[in-house]
Structure 1
């Protein structure tokens, strides 16, 4: 615990100036979109179960966008 008015020192990460997109374990935009699509599907089911119609609709649109993004990226890679 720190005293009021004092900031806790940050632990050294070993790599200075690393951007958020370069964090270890991240597979890039395609992996992020796949993860988002998976999570949105679960949230959409939850919204539907609780009859949250507008959220269900908006999450459906988000899921369509993520799926479309993945489909187009896959199509480009095959070309």
Structure 2
């Protein structure tokens, strides 16, 4: 998305696009829950660590990373090259 110039002011939008990538719905819920916890920490000072959520987030992130690694690299348009 960023390679195409998209910059979301609302991070949740980026997570919501995962449904269109074939990412498991349960994994998407983990990403959304972690994002919500991040917001609680930043905006309300909540700093409770949920060990299970952290373990699930690491597992989901590794699974998503493995799927992304299988993709062909995007071709950069001339205007986006640095």
What TM-score comes out, normalization by structure 1 length?
Answer: 0.42
User: Which has the higher Rg, Structure 1 or Structure 2?
Assistant: 1
Greater helix share, structure number? 2
What TM-score comes out, normalization by structure 2 length?
Answer: 0.40
